[in-house]
């Protein structure tokens, strides 16, 4: 199960990477910087201790569309369908997108 990245965490990480976001406080900015500068093994250890910030930084660094995904989370949009109608489930998806679709296509 992936950790939940809140809109505030996404906005802090976006700001760190020079995208529209909101500045984090000193402690969280230092944490983001530390995770971003760490090698992949140490970044994974930090992500284990701080799963929301760790996941957000790793997504920003290593996912080709990571900054766009964080932008969606920060703006309160589903990361799949881009709708703003919640409620939202784990992983930044709205509940319809998070629900598994049966193989026959009929729910």
Mean pLDDT of 60-69: 92
* Calpha distance 40→55 (Å, rounded): 12
Confidence of residue 1 (pLDDT cuts 50, 70, 90): very low
Q: Residue 107 burial (CB < 10 Å; 0-12/13-18/19+)? A: exposed
The residue whose two tokens read 């802090």 is 12
Residues with Cβ < 8 Å from 73, sequence gap 6 or more?
5, 6, 7, 10, 79, 92
Beta bridge partners of 94: 88
Confidence of residue 65 (pLDDT cuts 50, 70, 90): very high
Top pLDDT among 86 and 9 is at 9
Q: What would the two tokens of residue 35 be?
A: 């995770």
Top pLDDT among 38 and 86 is at 38
- pLDDT of res. 62: 92
Model confidence over 4-57: pLDDT tens digits? 899 999 999 999 999 888 999 999 999 999 999 999 999 999 999 999 999 999
- pLDDT of res. 23: 93
């Amino acid at each position: 199960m992936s950790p939940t990245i809140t809109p505030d965490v996404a906005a802090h990480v976006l700001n760190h990477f020079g995208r529209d976001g909101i500045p984090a406080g000193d402690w969280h900015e230092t944490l983001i910087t530390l995770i971003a500068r760490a090698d992949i093994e140490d970044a994974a250890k930090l992500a284990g201790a701080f799963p929301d910030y760790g996941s957000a930084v790793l997504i920003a660094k290593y996912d080709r569309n990571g900054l766009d995904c964080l932008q969606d989370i920060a703006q309160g949009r589903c990361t799949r369908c881009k709708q703003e109608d919640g409620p939202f489930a784990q992983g930044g998806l709205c509940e319809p997108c998070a629900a598994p679709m049966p193989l026959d296509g009929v729910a």
